[in-house]
Amino acid sequence: MPVPIIIDCDPGHDDAVAILLAAGDPAVDLLAITTVAGNQTVEKTTLNARRICTVAGIADVPIAAGCAQPLVQPLKVADDVHGASGMDGPRFATPTVDVVPEHAVDLMHRILTEHPEPVTLVPTAPLTNIALLLTRYPESAGRIREIVLMGGSTERGNRTPAAEFNVYVDPEAADIVFRSGVPVTMCGLNVTHQALATPEVLARLEALGTELGRTVVELLTFFAATYEQLWGFASPPVHDPVAVARVIDPAIVHCVEASVAVELRGQHTRGATVVDLHRYLDRPVNAQVALALEPDLFWDRVIAAVETLGKRGA
């Protein structure tokens, strides 16, 4: 039986690939796509979710817009990485799929309440919507099978020396999620930097010969240019689908148990995830922490999903 999931995202080049993997892989049942401010404003990330769903022919999955601002601090977008639109590169047609007239948090709550089985949440963005869900509807925690998120790092950050973008944008929200008691799996930079869109990966996507395959190549080509310019990467790390892949097949992403805390007050380290891999501290385990990726298995699933959706749309 496919695992029921909701993706909470801020598309975002890699969020777009996460949506495609979730919609195109038979091991998961994508119940909804919810959006939040992060890589760009929530207006832009929501438009981008509609754009990628339109080009992929994903018409039967509700899309709901969520929070426009982090819980406490002002929004800081990543236009240097994702461009002014939040998903620069391809030229997108006017979207034909619309949003539902419900706030993302209310939609998540309704699905969690109504679905016959517990649902897995896959946040690939700042955790504002998820924190609000857990705060406003605490009873929903019991309906969440697990939260498998892209965010944090066991090592360095990518917005400050210590903080990864999704946690850096809304540290208070991340703190609520990691302290919620809901099972959490953290796919941080240390593992997503193993998901590189190499020239070989781009060639396989191009060889699909579909409009969707070409769109993904254009997305990843833009992403490659900013990653090269900002961080000197030879190929860009495609972070967000790693969290989806972990749900699809846990053997693709290897995890260990650890305690994770979010630094809220550090003078130089606000937004860092403090991961106690060596059990220095007497703190209970609150997360599965991803350490290693099987890149071949990962890319096979991503490319197969793009192929499936591309054929459907052709």
* Distance, C-alpha 222 to centroid of its chain: 18
Smallest distance, ligand BDR to C-beta of residue 153, A: 8
Instruction: Write out the DSSP string of 192-216.
Output: HTT-B--HHHHHHHHHT-SHHHHHH
Smallest distance, Ca ion to C-beta of residue 295, A: 19
- Region near ligand BDR per CB under 6 A, out of 46-54, 112-120, 160-168, 172-180: 160-168
Residues 6+ apart with CB under 8 A from 64: 32, 33, 34, 35, 99, 100, 102, 103, 104, 106, 107
- Name the packing angle between helices 13-24 and 42-56 (round to 10°): 40
List the catalytic residue out of 115, 239, 254, 278.
239
**165 binding ligand BDR? (CB under 6 A):** yes
**240 binding ligand BDR? (CB under 6 A):** yes
- Region near ligand BDR per CB under 6 A, out of 10-18, 23-31, 88-96, 223-231: 10-18
**32 binding ligand BDR? (CB under 6 A):** no
Of 10 and 25, the one with the shorter C-beta distance to Ca ion is: 10
Residue pair 119/154 in contact by the 8 Å Cβ criterion: no
Peptide bond into 266 cis (omega under 30): no
**188 binding ligand BDR? (CB under 6 A):** no
Three-class SS state of 173: helix
- Report the Cα–Cα distance between both ends of the chain, in Å, rounded: 27
Smallest distance, ligand BDR to C-beta of residue 294, A: 20
Residue for token pair 């857990």: 134
- Binding to ligand BDR by CB under 6 A, coded x per residue (else -) over 56-95, reads ----------------------x--x--------------
Binding to ligand BDR (CB under 6 A) within 120-159 occurs at: 124-125, 150, 158
Of 121 and 208, the one with the shorter C-beta distance to ligand BDR is: 121
Instruction: Write out the DSSP string of 233-262.
Output: -SS-B--THHHHHHHH-GGGEEEEEE-EEE
Count residues contacting ligand BDR (CB under 6 A)?
15
Residue pair 37/10 in contact by the 8 Å Cβ criterion: yes
User: How far apart are alpha carbons 11 and 273 in whole angstroms?
Assistant: 23
**12 binding ligand BDR? (CB under 6 A):** yes
**241 binding Ca ion? (CB under 5 A):** no
Based on the residue annotation, tell me whether 278 is a catalytic residue of this protein.
no
* Residue of closest CB approach to ligand BDR: 165
Binding to Ca ion (CB under 5 A) within 14-33 occurs at: 15
Smallest distance, ligand BDR to C-beta of residue 216, A: 15
Distances (CA, A) of 5 to 110, 176, 224: 13, 20, 29
- Which of 124, 185, 210, 288 binds Ca ion (CB under 5 A)? It is 124
Task: Give the residue among 77, 104, 303 at the shortest CA–CA distance from 206.
Answer: 303
Q: Pick from ligand BDR, Ca ion, none: which does 78 bind, CB < 5 to 8 A by kind?
A: ligand BDR
Smallest distance, ligand BDR to C-beta of residue 9, A: 8
Q: Give the CA count within 13 Å in the CB-facing half-sphere of 107.
A: 24
User: How far apart are alpha carbons 12 and 83 in whole angstroms?
Assistant: 9
User: How far apart are alpha carbons 11 and 36 in whole angstroms?
Assistant: 9
Of 113 and 229, the one with the shorter C-beta distance to ligand BDR is: 229
Active site residues: 239
Contacting positions for Ca ion (CB under 5 A): 10, 12, 15, 124-125, 240
Contacting positions for ligand BDR (CB under 6 A): 12, 14-15, 39, 78, 81, 124-125, 150, 158, 164-166, 239-240
